[in-house]
Amino acid sequence: DSGVTQTPKHLITATGQRVTLRCSPRSGDLSVYWYQQSLDQGLQFLIQYYNGEERAKGNILERFSAQQFPDLHSELNLSSLELGDSALYFCASSAQGVLEPQHFGDGTRLSIL
């Protein structure tokens, strides 16, 4: 158990819909990262938040957005879903950020029908 909690574990929805994935970081961790894992693209960094503020952006689509709340949990919002958005979405957390270990949650498997 990494201490990072992600809900839901599985999500099945249709094209054009919107979903929200939730992540609670390890106790004491201030940084939250979102990654997407798919067979063709591998593990890709989407976005990072540190203590409520956006800190770094990776390959995140404009249809996707995220936020980190005062209690440090984070949500990733995916809208206008397409078949290609089907993937495993992981959240990771670290104590501060720079040069520190990132610990992954168990992921949310998103299937678009």
Partner 1 sequence: GENVEQHPSTLSVQEGDSAVIKCTYSDSASNYFPWYKQELGKRPQLIIDIRSNVGEKKDQRIAVTLNKTAKHFSLHITETQPEDSAVYFCAVDSGGGADGLTFGKGTHLIIQP
Compute the least distance from the CB of residue 83 to partner 1, in Å: 21
Q: How far is the CB of 102 from partner 1 (least distance, A)?
A: 7
Q: How far apart are the first and last CA of the chain?
A: 31
Per-residue x/- mask for partner 1, residues 78 to 107, rule CB under 8 A? ------------x---x--xxxxxxxxxxx
Would you tell me how many other CB atoms lie within 10 Å of the CB of residue 75?
Answer: 16
**Distance separating alpha carbons of residues 40 and 61, to the nearest angstrom:** 16
Q: Would you give the binding string for partner 1 spanning residues 29-68, x where CB under 8 A is met?
A: --x-x-x------xxxxxxx-x----xx-x----------
Judge whether 7 and 105 are in contact, CB under 8 Å: no
Q: How far is the CB of 16 from partner 1 (least distance, A)?
A: 28
Nearer to partner 1, 25 or 105 (CB): 105
For the bound state, the minimum distance from the C-beta of residue 2 to partner 1, rounded and expressed in Å, comes to: 7
* Rg (the chain; Cα; Å): 13
Distance between CA 104 and CA 90 in Å, rounded? 7
Place of tokens 């593990």: 43
In the complex, the residues that contact partner 1 under the rule CB under 8 A are 2, 31, 33, 35, 42-48, 50, 55-56, 58, 90, 94, 97-107
